[in-house]
Amino acid sequence: MAAAALAATPEDLSARFSAAARVLLGSDRVYVGFYRRDITSLTIDDAGPDRWNRDYDARVYRQDPFFQRFASTRQDFLLPLSALSQGDFQRTPYYREFYGPSGSFDEITGVFNLDGLTAGYVTFLRREGAPRFGERDLAVAGAASSATKLILQRLLHLCRLRDKGSAIEAAGSQLSARERQIARLLVEGGSAKTISRNLSISPGTVRNHIKQVYRKLGVHSQIELLAIGWKASPN
């Protein structure tokens, strides 16, 4: 888990955490991702696209009893499948269409609210032929809950950083060559006066360019431009 906290990408964090968590509970597979209260789900694939998870995220997660539990409460929870299946799980559309065909046999899932809209989840799965999870497994997962929630918070942070970087990159493509040049000089500490001398244009023209840079990148000051980590090519 300590190694997962040092990961630089969501996929790397998922891979490191999943590997450790599989050993922790003797699981065949561990998945992490997010549930959102606007009725969306996202699984972080750690070893390339997973067909079952793509199906899950795209259409069937609303039938998942753990997602339904999340949608009905604001409380964190860590539960075995037996706590939600109520004995008729194999007759549900979710089981027939997704769970059974995926080869899954038993699971423990923890759902941890990270903000008002988003919860992180971790699912420990065992495949057909493996023993069911027991009380000891649930106790071990419970003991790791605090660390797991911290890992999921880090995962959400990495995902948001990447989304923000993509948005900034898209906004940056709207800058003209002159605006990119001025943005670079601002990041390097330039002012309207020093930039005007550097580029041999009037301070008023520089200030107009700066206003356009800020508008297109969605910032309001040179400090904010630095804070978003804007990087412009020299040309």
Report, as an integer, the average pLDDT of 25-39: 94
**100 & 11 share domain:** yes
All residues at 6 or more sequence positions from 61 whose CB lies less than 8 Å from its CB, including other chains: 35, 41, 67
Report, as an integer, the average pLDDT of 125-140: 95
**pLDDT at residue 235, rounded to an integer:** 47
Give me the sheet containing 40-43, strands edge to edge.
40-43, 29-36, 118-127, 104-113, 77-80
Determine what percent of the chain is predicted with pLDDT higher than 90. Answer: 60
Count up the domains in the chain and report the number. Answer: 2
Q: How does the average pLDDT of the chain come out, rounded?
A: 88
**pLDDT at residue 202, rounded to an integer:** 94
Cα dihedral across residues 107, 86, 61, 122: positive or negative: negative
Per-residue pLDDT band for 230 (boundaries 50, 70, 90) equals: low
CA dihedral 64→16→44→91, nearest 10 degrees, is -20
Beta bridge partners of 36: 40, 118
Q: Identify whether 234 is part of a domain.
A: no
**90 & 118 share domain:** yes
pLDDT digits (tens, 9 = 90+) for 196-223: 999 999 999 999 999 998 888 878 888 8
Domain holding 122, by residue range, is 2-164
**21 & 131 share domain:** yes
pLDDT digits (tens, 9 = 90+) for 40-93: 999 998 877 888 888 899 889 999 999 999 999 999 999 999 998 766 888 899
**pLDDT at residue 187, rounded to an integer:** 83
Tokens of 74: 């604001």
Residue 52 contacts residue 98 (beta carbons within 8 Å):
yes
**pLDDT at residue 51, rounded to an integer:** 87
**150 & 82 share domain:** yes
Residue 67 contacts residue 38 (beta carbons within 8 Å):
no
**73 & 99 share domain:** yes
**58 & 86 share domain:** yes
Q: Which of the 8 DSSP states describes residue 33?
A: E
| From 22-26, 68-72, 174-178, the region with the lowest mean pLDDT | 174-178
CA distance 228 to 214: 12
pLDDT digits (tens, 9 = 90+) for 39-55: 899 999 887 788 888 88
**pLDDT at residue 223, rounded to an integer:** 81
